[in-house]
Amino acid sequence: MSTAGPSSTTNGSRNPSANLERLNAAVSAIEELQVQVQDIKEKADKKMAVLRTENEILKSNVEELSERVSFLATMLGVRNEEDELDGENGGSLSEIDPTLRGTSEPVSEASSSANKLSVMELSFAASKSKAIRDVIIDTLKIHLGTDSLAGASLPSFPFGIGEERWPKNPVDQKPYMRFNWDAAYNKSPNAEALEKIFDSLRATGAKRCPAADEDLENICDNDLKERIKDKFVSMAREFKSKRKEQANLQARIQELEDRRAAAEENLDEELADEPAIVITTASRDRASKNSRVSQHHQCSRTVGQIPQNRD
């Protein structure tokens, strides 16, 4: 038992390369983890900046609505509790302390405004990029199960079809997405389908289309949803245009078929109205005899016209 400790120590000291390999592996794992943490932190910072911008926009909208309400209250002669409190204090709260009305801005107002403008500009630029357009198209193709988003290739909504007969992905048997092209984008089932497209873009868009990674990070949710909506409206317009062309073509073909059938019917009626010609045996004999007599007279006249030789 006394030799176990020294033996293990000796074995450990005799294998410094194994310890070094484990140490290097641990260092590599830590460095890789640090890179991942840094990447997550950068993405989180960008997302927070987007959320702050959206929050600022919402605050601006609320302030604008509050001003409109105050204006309407003034026009209607309605005094609210805040106005009464101002009167009791002998002056406006904003005159006493502007921060009580929430109109004061932080000290870093210029920095906040610049950051807000920068985020909005990045989002706007990303919303107009080809990468965002391509990743939206790719996502729609996957969920619709089609290789093209042209009008003739867009699938129609399978009305009256149950879950068993609903079009499915042959790989995983998951139901394909279908739009009702005659309904608005914010009506069922289109609203739910477009929300799924948005969630898919946020979850796996960058992985499927690495070129869109940066733009997906920069674009705000509202701008991304607007681009998705615009694409749906464009597809619906093209689908209905192709459907109208096909309907017009079918109507033209049916018109030609009707005209042909009418012409054949008129021809049959005209033939039916013609008097029937009945040829009997006697009439055929008289016609044959008359023909022979006519030929005989013709020959006689021909002979009579030949000049005679007086010599």
Q: What is the pLDDT of residue 276?
A: 53
Look at residue 182 and tell me whether its pLDDT is greater than 60.
Answer: yes
Closest CA to 181 of 224, 147, 231: 231
Q: What is the pLDDT of residue 56?
A: 75
Neighbouring residues of 152: CB distance < 8 A, sequence distance ≥ 6: 242
Look at residue 83 and tell me whether its pLDDT is greater than 60.
Answer: no
Look at residue 37 and tell me whether its pLDDT is greater than 80.
Answer: yes
Q: How far is CA 242 from the centre of its chain?
A: 15
Neighbouring residues of 169: CB distance < 8 A, sequence distance ≥ 6: 145, 175, 176
Q: Please tell me the distance from the alpha carbon of residue 292 to that of residue 285, in angstroms, as a whole number.
A: 11
Interval 230-241 mean pLDDT: 94
Give the model confidence (pLDDT) of 85-101 as tens digits: 444 444 443 443 444 34
Give the model confidence (pLDDT) of 108-148 as tens digits: 555 555 565 578 888 999 999 999 999 999 999 999 999 99
Query: ∠123-126-127 over CA atoms, to 5°?
Result: 85
Binned at pLDDT 50, 70 and 90, residue 305 comes out as low
Using omega within 30 degrees of 0 as the cis cutoff, is the peptide bond preceding 189 cis? yes
Q: What is the pLDDT of residue 286?
A: 63
Residue 113 CB coordination number (10 Å): 12
Look at residue 294 and tell me whether its pLDDT is greater than 80.
Answer: no
State the amino acid at position 99 in one-letter form. Answer: T
For the chain, what is the HEC assignment? CCCHHHHHHHHHHHCHHHHHHHHHHHHHHHHHHHHHHHHHHHHHHHHHHHHHHHHHHHHHHHHHHHHHHHHHHHHHCCCCHHHHHHHHCCCCHHHHCHHHHCCCCCCCHHHHHHHHHHHHHHHHHHHCCHHHHHHHHHHHHHHHCCCCCCHHHCCCCCCCCCCCCCCECCCCCCECCCCCCCCCCCCCCHHHHHHHHHHHHHHHHHHHCHHHHHHHHHCCHHHHHHHHHHHHHHHHHHHHHHHHHHHHHHHHHHHHHHHHHHHHHHHHHHHHHCCCCCCCHHHHHHHHHHHHHHHHHHHHHHHHCCCCCCC
Q: Give domain limits for the chain.
A: 21-91, 121-266
Give the model confidence (pLDDT) of 252-271 as tens digits: 999 898 888 888 888 777 77
The mean pLDDT of the chain is: 77
Q: How many residues does the chain have?
A: 311
